[in-house]
Each structure stands twice: as structure tokens, then as C-alpha cells.
Amino acid sequence: MSADAIRVLITDDHPVFRQGLKGLLQALGGIDVAAEAESGPEAVRLAAELQPDVVVMDLHMPGGNGIEATRTITRTSPRIGVLVLTMFRDDDSVFAAMRAGARGYLLKESGAEEIARAVRAVAAGEAIYGPEIARRVLTYFTDMPDPRQAAFPQLTEREREVLELIAQGRSNSEIAATLFLSQKTVRNHVSNIFMKLHVADRAQAIVLAREAGLGESAKNAPA
């Protein structure tokens, strides 16, 4: 074993899979399989004892959940990177692993080079996900609704723009200049906003808007 080799702990309840993965990783060079575990609790114990660079973790195993094992390992030994290697591709499993502290998530159908590359990346402190998992993560975040829009569904898009500027402390003349509107049009929008939000004045509108996350730059600016 090279002194510079990445030390890996393989955790999976199928011995044939463990042996196959061990042979695959060691044949590619620069990676040494320090030990194997067949359950989450065993992985936690061996990780604490051996302090490998990477734990390759299955998620669903008899006798111990891979998510809980990942959470324990990353909490007690933050330097150890956990790479999930599983057949489960559902969103709940992916995001549970991420929340538990896993640095990577691959499906078992991944190729040898992809798995080895992920092990090296996780050992180096990087986060890495297989192509399908990366697409799921990207889709999840790009499809998330804007909470600022959800807060005031009764407002039109233009009224939300005006309210954002009100929350930033802008005057009607400044809003008119920013949005290329006449001051009369801005006054009409402001009146409609006050009516729809059931507020009596600008101060009350600013409070509601900032509570909903609008005008953040003004709210966080130093006094």
C-alpha cells in the first residue's frame, strides 16, 4: 500500500458487491480499501477506529440505516468524506443524504472510472454527484417558488416591483426614475398596494414587505 493512497471503508450489506468494488478500486491504483462493513453501526465503529479518508456508503441495509451512519460519521469525524453509492435515486434519499453530510451521491450503475473519480474528489474535500443526481438537485432548486412572490399573490408583477422599491426606502420620484414610469403612475400603484395589503401608510407597507423578505439590501445595510 502506498503511503499516499486514499484509504477507503466500503459499507454495503452484499459481500459480493463489496468484493467487486474493492477489486475495482484497488485495480485503478492510488486507492486502498482499509476495511469493509456490512451495516451502518459497523461503519460508524470502523470509521472511528481506522479514520479512513472516504467511507463509501450504501443507504438501506439490515441492522443500520446508512443515513444515520453518515450523520454520525460526519459529525464525529468531519475530516472523513462520505460517498453514497446506492441503487436509490428518489429525491427523499438524495436530500436526506445531503442533509446528513454526504459529500457525494452516485448510483450503483455508475462506471468504474466514475466511482474512482468520485472517491478521489470526496477525499479532496469536493462535493460530487452523478449526472442524474446532479440534474435532480438542479431541478429541485430551480423549480422552487420565489417566496417573495408567494407572500403577496394579490399583487401584480409591477406592484411587487414597486413594493420592493418601497421596502428599500425609495421615494415615489426615485421609484418613477428606476422603473421609467410617471410619478402619477407610481402614486396609483402605491395606492393599489396599500389597499390590497390593508395598510394605512408607507411605514406599515415597509414592515410587511421586509417581513416577507423584500428590500433585503436596505434592511441589512449598516445604520
pLDDT, tens digit, 9 for 90 and up, residues 3-12:
689 999 999 9
Q: What is the pLDDT of residues 65-121, one digit of tens each?
A: 899 999 999 999 999 999 999 998 888 888 889 889 999 999 999 988 899 999 999
Query: pLDDT value at position 151?
Result: 73
Q: Is the pLDDT at 220 greater than 50, yes or no?
A: no
Query: pLDDT value at position 68?
Result: 93
Identity of residue 80: I
Which pTM was predicted?
A: 0.63
* Average pLDDT value for the chain: 88
- Residue 28 CA: distances (Å) to CA of 75, 115, 145, 167, 181: 30, 11, 44, 58, 65
Higher-scoring residue by pLDDT: 152, 18: 18
**Positions of E strands within the chain:** 6-11, 31-37, 54-57, 60-61, 64-65, 81-86, 104-107, 128-129
- The C-alpha cell of 204 is what? 406599515
Residue 94 region by backbone torsions, left for phi larger than 0, else alpha for psi between -120 and 50, else beta: alpha
Average the pLDDT over 194-198 and give the result.
91
Higher-scoring residue by pLDDT: 81, 214: 81
Query: pLDDT value at position 222?
Result: 42
Query: pLDDT value at position 140?
Result: 66
Query: pLDDT value at position 223?
Result: 38
Please tell me the distance from the alpha carbon of residue 84 to that of residue 66, in angstroms, as a whole number: 8
Query: pLDDT value at position 203?
Result: 92
Query: pLDDT value at position 77?
Result: 95
Whether 98 and 121 have beta carbons less than 8 Å apart is answered as no
Whether 88 and 45 have beta carbons less than 8 Å apart is answered as no
With bands split at pLDDT 50, 70 and 90, how would you rate the model's confidence at 219?
very low
- The C-alpha cell of 65 is what? 440505516
Q: What is the pLDDT of residues 139-190, one digit of tens each?
A: 766 655 555 556 788 888 899 899 999 999 999 999 999 999 999 999 999 9
Query: pLDDT value at position 1?
Result: 54
With bands split at pLDDT 50, 70 and 90, how would you rate the model's confidence at 56?
very high
